[in-house]
Structure 1
Amino acid sequence: MRFLILHIARLPAAGMALFPFILVKRKAYKEDKVLINHEKIHLVQQLELLLIFFYIIYLVHYVINLARYRSHRMAYLNIVFEREAFHMDADLLYLKRRRLFAWRYFFG
């Protein structure tokens, strides 16, 4: 699966996946295989949840985590989609063998 990678200097994070694009803060990040793989995992998650359900679940999970952890960073890191992406982003072959809705195994 191939996606368009765009450089957006004012991006608030190193990378972001907004289907069908991967956005990166620095041009050099286009070559960061782990970061790009992390964002590709998010694009696959978005596709399997028809985009809108991904964003709804992402936001709800973030708000629940924020109430639980009272920390933006901890709330973000414990969103189920982020848990899968961070756990598997260094495995560059992960998407070839990833099961449908694999993020459900990363509830913690």
Structure 2
Amino acid sequence: MYLIHTKYLIPKGYRGLTLYPFVLIKYKQDKTNAIFINHEKIHLRQQLEMLIVPFFIWYILEFVWRWMKFRNFHLGYRNISFEKEAYYNETDFDYLKKRKFFQFTEYI
């Protein structure tokens, strides 16, 4: 994992963006934020197990579907299965040790 501080590439309202193997962060202090880093590590694992490009295709399609379902951008984002898995488990620092393959499907 490579942390890159860049306040210009992160969309407004977000703190980070994971593009395997990079984690782009908006705020320098997040480099030491264990919960934030764990959340992004979960995304790295998701991207790796889906061979990166299919991850982003699924992510975008699921986001559009959820956005249309909820008619709300933020609710659409928060209900993407990848995000639900990451948010739900970001405080469990042993999660990646016990995480099953394709675990995000439990959050669909």
TM-score when scaled to structure 1? Answer: 0.94
What is the total number of aligned residue pairs between the two structures?
A: 105
TM alignment of 1:41-52, pairs within 5 A: 41-52=42-53
Q: Distance in 2 between matches of 1:28 and 1:4?
A: 15
Aligned amino acid, residue 58 of structure 1? Y
Query: SS in structure 2 opposite 1:23?
Result: strand
The answer to whether residue 98 in structure 2 is matched with residue 97 in structure 1 is: yes
User: More deviation in 11-20 or 81-90?
Assistant: 11-20
Write out aligned runs for 1:1-108 (5 A): 3-10=1-8, 11-12=10-11, 13-107=14-108
Instruction: Report the secondary structure of 2:100's partner residue.
Output: coil
Q: How far 1:16 sits from its partner (Å)?
A: 1.2
**1:88-107 alpha-carbon deviations (Å, 9 max, x no partner):** 00111100111110001111
Shift of 1:63: 0.6
Cα deviation code 1:39-66 (max 9, x no counterpart)? 1100100000000110011001001001
- Alignment RMSD, CA only? 0.7
d(CA) in 1 for partners of 2:96, 2:25: 20
CA deviation after TM superposition for structure 1 residue 9, in Å: 1.4
Q: Which runs of 5+ in 2 are unaligned?
A: none
Matched residues, percent identical?
39
Structure 1 residue identity aligned to 2:57: I
User: Deviation at 1:85?
Assistant: 0.3
SS of equivalent to 2:44: helix
The one-letter code of the counterpart of 1:8 is T
Inter-partner Cα distance in structure 2 for 1:23 and 1:96: 23
